Each structure stands twice: as C-alpha cells, then as structure tokens.
Structure 1
Amino acid sequence: MTERGTPLELWTMGIKSIILSYVIIQSYVAVGSISPWYMLSILIYLCLNISIHIAKKVSITTLVLLLSMLVTIASSSYIQPLFLLLFPLNIYELFTIYLRKRGIILFLMLVPLLLLSQESQAVLVTYGLVAILSFLYYFLLNTYISKIADLKEDIENRNEHIQQLTKSLNENKEYIRQSDYTIKLEERNRLSQEIHDKIGHSMTGALIQMEASKRLFTSDPNKSAEMLQNAIHISKEGIESIRLVLKNMKPPIEQLGVNRMKLFVDEFSAIHTVRTSLTHKGNVDIITPIQWKVIQENTKEALTNAMKYSNATFISIHIEVLRTLIKVEVSDNGKGEQKVIKGLGIIGMEERAASVNGAIIVDGSRGFSVTTLIPHG
C-alpha cells in the first residue's frame, strides 16, 4: 500500500504510467488502431488507480484495487491480452496491505502465469518479466522510503535531544552565574561587617587616643606618652585583626585543587575495598575553582558507577593539563561494556562538562573509562 505524504505515490504512478504506455504502444503497433472499448478500458483503469491514492480508508482502497484488477482481467480477455501486464502492480499494492512477507507476494504475482497457458509464449515471458521487475522495483522503493523515514525520525530525535541539552546548558549557565553573583554579594557583606566590627572600632579607638595625646603633649607629657602608647597598642591589635580576617578569607590548602581531590580519593579508598590511584601531570594551578568543581563531581559519579556495575578491583584517576585542554580520565579494570547506554549519570556528567564548554568520552572496550575534556586558556 502506498504511504501518503511520501514520494512513494509519485514513483508508483510513474511505474504504472511506463507500463501502461508500453501496453498502449504495443497494442497500437500490433493492431494498427485503438478501438473505443480499448480507450474506455484505459480511462477506467486510470480513474481507478488515481482513486487509490485519494481514498483514505483501507476498505475503500481494497475495493478500488479489486475493481482495477477486474478491469485488467476483463480487458485482457476481451480486448487486448497485453492489458494483463498491469495486473502484477495491483496485486502487489493489494497484498502489501495485509501481508508482510514479500516472498508470498511475489508468488501471488506469478500465479497468473499458471492461468495463461493458452496465451502466446511472448505474453507469458513478458508477464513474468514485468511481475519480477515490478516486485523488485516496489521492494527497493519501499526499503528506500523506510530508510529515509528512519533517518528523519533519528534526525528529529537528535534535534530534540540537542534542544534539551541546549536548554539544560543555558539553565546551568544561568544558575552558575546567579550562584557566583550571590556568593560574591554574601562575601562582600561578611567582609564589610567583619571590618566594621573588628578593624573599624580599633582604628577609631587609636585615633581618639592619638588626638588626646596631641592635646596633652605640652601640658602633661607623661599622660600624653601613656595615651600614645595605648594608641600604638590598639593599632597593633587592629593590624592583627586584619591579618586574621585575611587568613580566614583564604581557604585551607587541603581544600584547594588537586589536594582536595587527593583527600576525596583517600576518603573513597577508606570506605570501599577497591584500590584507587590519583596521578596528575602539567600545571594544575591554572584549573579554575568552577572547573575543579566539575572535575570532582564527574569523578565522584564515575567512581560510583564503577562500584555499582564494573566489578573492578582497581580504579585509576589521571588529571593532565595539556596546551589547550584539561583531561581527566577515570578508568577501571572491570568487565566493561561494548555498547554503552547513556543513563542519568553519564547524561549528568555531559551536562556538567558542557557548562564549562567541555565534553565527555565514554569507552567500555577495555574495562570502563570516562574522560572529561575541558578547554582552558
């Protein structure tokens, strides 16, 4: 059955037109003229076969095909035997509505040969050739149309997936931007309050002591010296407060970069029986805090997946800073997976990497490895 809205209808009408033209030309050459009944049969055949592509219901299409086959048989019996060459096309169209096995349809297209023993050898050979060629034509055409439909569906699915990833990426970027802005505001507010509470009071007290010492410098030198000493002491306390504030602003060394990763890997090894190894190469100091956050979260997800599915005994984590890329590979010696199916874990890693313009490479051929690539510079 032809599929509406596809090129199959045009190709079907084209092959019918070619065979019908052949029948008309051969009939005219053999007879020398075309009778009114012959013209009537052709017009009825054309009307019925055009109606096939107009009908929307399967029952109506089946009825029209049966009528077309009856007209073909009647015309070949009483007007021109070559009309029978149009019969295989309608057989294929009719039985593809109800049958999926192409071999049975080809057999049905060749069955009329058993009923044409009284016809000439030329008609039999021509009919068999037309039936086989029509079957191959329709079979290849349906295969081609089916592949095009599958490709269109695949493209639509990929476009939908790209749109979802783009939307998620934009949301992640907006979330990161807002989070970064909020963190900066909170830090500014904390520093402002701490400077006001600790350093501001100290500097104000020192200034008052120095003003008083200036007034008493000539009238009471001893008292002036005492106040000046108090101002010096208060200033020292203020400087110490500034040092403590700056010290508290700077996070501990174990919370930064690769040291934080080492601490995380050590904690993971302490909890689980699998052996883990962390190595790094290149200048890891150029990795930004946001990039470290993505690396650590993706590493954590990869380690969790390895513990769940790989049955590994050893997991390697290697961080390498290349000229334009940061490469983080988490690999294990587990069972691996030849065909990797992306679950929520891998999709989450892809989205995190995409938030910093990176990408994920997954390989299950030898063990299982997840490589995060992040551009820098």
Structure 2
Amino acid sequence: MKTFLLVCDTIIVIAYALLCNLSFPNDMAHIVLVLLFFLSFRALSLAIHDLFSIGNFFLLIFLWQYKPQLLVLPYIFYLVLYFYLYTKEEKLQAITKDNTRLKIETQQSRLYRLLQGKFERQIAINTRLKERQRIAQDIHDLLGHSVTASVLQLEAAKSIMDEDPERAKQMITNATQSLREGIDNIRSVVHQMRAEASDMQAADINTIIDKFRRDTGIIIHYKADGDINAIEPDRWEAIRGNLQEALSNVIKHANATQVWVDLQVMPGMLRLQVRDDGLGAEIYEEGMGISGMRQRIAPFAGSLIIRGEPKKGTTIITLIPRRKTA
C-alpha cells in the first residue's frame, strides 16, 4: 500500500509542477526545489513515521504565492483515500491473524485427537494383554494341579494294577474325579470370561459414543435392546467397526445436529441402526467407508441398508445373522 501512496504523491506533485509551469514559468526553479523537499518529506512519512508530514505543511509557506490550494485540494482527496486504504489493510491484517490462529488451533485439535486415539488404542491393547495373562494364570492354577495329580495317580495305578487291583481302581477313580473337577473349574472360568467380555463390549460401545459426543458436540442417543452379553466376539467386532464408520460419515458428510444409535440383539439376527437428521440424499455413492462396512459383515452373510431423503437425514442399517447353536 505504501508504494501505491508514494506513486499518488508523485503524480500530485508532478501535476502541480506542470500547472505552475504554465502560470509561473519564471519561478520554476524555486517551485521545483520546494516540491522536491515536499516529496522527500512524504517519502519519509510513509517509510518511517507520519510525523514527517509536518514538514509538508511547513513547505506550503514557500508555495503560498503559487496557488498552493491546487496542491492542497488533491491531498484532501489523498488523505481520504489513505485512511480508507489504511482501515482496509488493518481489517485484512486482523482477518489474516484470525485465520492463522484458527489454522493453528485446528492443527492442534487434529494432533490432540490423533494422540488421544493412539492413547485409547494403546489402553485397549494393554487391557487385552493383561486379560490374556490373567486367563493363562487361571488355567495354570485351576487345571495344572488337577492334571499333574491325575497323571501321577494314573501312572501309580498302572504300576500296581497287577499286585493290588482294588487300590489301583481307587486311584483311577480319584484321578478321574480330579480331572472332572478341573474341567468344571475351566467351564466356570470360561463362563466368567464371557460375562466379563460382554461387559467390556458394553463399555467399548459407550466409549465410542462418548468420544463422538465429546469431539463433535453433536447430540447422540443410544439404545440397546436384547442380551448384549450373547453377541459373539467376531460379530461384535463387525458391529463395532460399522458403528465407528457410520459415525465418521456423520461427521464428514451429514452436517447433523442429532444422531440416534439403536442396537438390537434378536434370537437370529443382530441389527445396528445409525440415523441422523443431517443433509441426507436419495442416492449415495459408495466410497471406501461404505465398501469397508459391507466387507466387514460379508463373512457372516450380513446385509447393509442405506436409506436417506434430502434434508431429512440418512439411516444406515447393519444386519448380521446370529451363529446357529445346536
């Protein structure tokens, strides 16, 4: 902007000098000298500080007899233009500053979400590792002793079978009883593990929903019908993955204010429905996300249904058949 203003100064001074040349040709040497100082003060004012403009007012005294109003009037317009451009530049600088701040905040927010996601995944991995260690320890404690004692009794019974058949039979009976107790203990542990796994599944889905609510500010409603404890682990992973992808699509495409998540556990079917009140559409182009959802449920002969209506939101339904039990 300063270069533009200096060009305006030069044009005004040259125009005034040409007018003076017509009216006062004999005094042009004096006029040109004053105008050169006048232009120098204007350059100093633009380059260093506005106070140098005081020198311009002082130089007008030396131009008083050469119609200085011809120089002053263009400068009045010049001052109006200067303040207009100055105000505009200040606004542009403020906007640029705000945009820079928003970009930094956005980058920091993305980095925070990335680190938070990595932290949550690491917690999940650590939880699984601890659970495996606990399972291994339980199996060792409950079954190891029974199996070892039974093997010793069976070996001893074998060695005395001919000499003392009755005692050998009693030892075999004791070994059999010990093995049955070990099997019962293992069944009890497995049943407890299934209950704990289902609790982890419920906590997992609540974590996903809470994270979505926290990161987006979108109101989300969650309802589960049926026995979540009965969902098979492999099918649960498919449900979990499709829920995350559906919520991701809401963030990226829907522009929604509310989301409803309904999970139904029926005797022969699992049904997950994610509905939003966003933009919606009649026809949806399937990208990597939707394709991944179909691939995730394909091993279970599952189905993916997508319905929508412009300005009335989108509904994504995941259907997964349950494993048949004998």
TM-score past 0.5 threshold: yes
Of 21, 25, 32, the residue aligned with 1:39 is 32
Q: Aligned letter for 1:233?
A: Q
Instruction: Give the Cα separation in 2 of the matches to 1:241 and 1:43.
Output: 105
Q: CA deviation at 1:33?
A: 7.2
Q: Deviations over 1:187-222 (max 9, x none)?
A: 233222212211111111121122122222333333
Of 18, 25, 47, the residue aligned with 1:25 is 18
Q: CA deviation at 1:27?
A: 3.2
Q: Aligned letter for 1:16?
A: D
Instruction: Give the Cα separation in 2 of the matches to 1:181 and 1:318.
Output: 29
Q: Aligned letter for 1:65?
A: S
Match of residue 69 from structure 2:
84
Match of residue 94 from structure 2:
150
Q: Aligned letter for 2:150?
A: A
Report if aligned partners of 2:9, 2:39 keep a CA contact under 8 Å in 1: no
Structure 2 gaps of 5+ residues are: 207-219, 226-230, 248-257, 264-271, 278-326
Structure 1 gaps of 5+ residues are: 1-7, 88-126, 262-275, 296-315, 331-377
Instruction: Give the Cα separation in 1 of the matches to 2:32 and 2:8.
Output: 20
Report if aligned partners of 1:16, 1:86 keep a CA contact under 8 Å in 2: no
Counterpart check, 1:319 vs 2:319: no
Distance change (3 Å), C-alpha of 1:156 and 1:328 = farther
Report if aligned partners of 2:154, 2:175 keep a CA contact under 8 Å in 1: yes
Match of residue 14 from structure 1:
7
Q: Deviations over 1:284-313 (max 9, x none)?
A: 953439x79xx9xxxxxxxxxxxxxxxxxx
Report if aligned partners of 2:34, 2:62 keep a CA contact under 8 Å in 1: no
Q: Deviations over 1:251-294 (max 9, x none)?
A: 36576449986xxxxxxxxxxxxxx985579x9953439x79xx
Q: CA deviation at 1:241?
A: 1.6
Report if aligned partners of 1:318, 1:329 keep a CA contact under 8 Å in 2: yes
Name the % identity: 21
Distance change (3 Å), C-alpha of 1:218 and 1:197 = same
What are the residue-to-residue correspondences of 1:250-329 with 2, within 5 Å?
250-251=194-195, 253=198, 256-257=201-202, 279=223, 285=236, 286-288=238-240, 318-319=260-261, 327=274
What are the residue-to-residue correspondences of 1:106-145 with 2, within 5 Å?
127=73, 130=74, 133-145=77-89
Report if aligned partners of 1:19, 1:85 keep a CA contact under 8 Å in 2: no
Instruction: Give the Cα separation in 2 of the matches to 1:250 and 1:143.
Output: 69
Distance change (3 Å), C-alpha of 1:211 and 1:29 = farther
Q: CA deviation at 1:180?
A: 2.4
Instruction: Give the Cα separation in 2 of the matches to 1:14 and 1:229.
Output: 111
Distance change (3 Å), C-alpha of 1:191 and 1:205 = same
Report if aligned partners of 2:259, 2:276 keep a CA contact under 8 Å in 1: yes
Instruction: Give the Cα separation in 2 of the matches to 1:200 and 1:33.
Output: 121
Q: CA deviation at 1:329?
A: 6.4
Report if aligned partners of 1:280, 1:318 keep a CA contact under 8 Å in 2: no
What CA RMSD, in Å, does the superposition of the two structures yield over aligned residues?
A: 4.1
Match of residue 238 from structure 1:
182
Match of residue 288 from structure 2:
none
Counterpart check, 1:69 vs 2:61: no
Of 49, 61, 65, the residue aligned with 2:42 is 49
Instruction: Give the Cα separation in 2 of the matches to 1:166 and 1:259.
Output: 22
Q: Deviations over 1:12-57 (max 9, x none)?
A: 212212222222333345556772211211111122112213435x
Match of residue 344 from structure 1:
none
Distance change (3 Å), C-alpha of 1:50 and 1:260 = closer
Aligned length: 237
Q: Aligned letter for 2:169?
A: A
What are the residue-to-residue correspondences of 1:95-106 with 2, within 5 Å?
none
| TM-score, normalization by structure 1 | 0.52
Counterpart check, 1:219 vs 2:204: no
Distance change (3 Å), C-alpha of 1:158 and 1:178 = same
Match of residue 212 from structure 2:
none
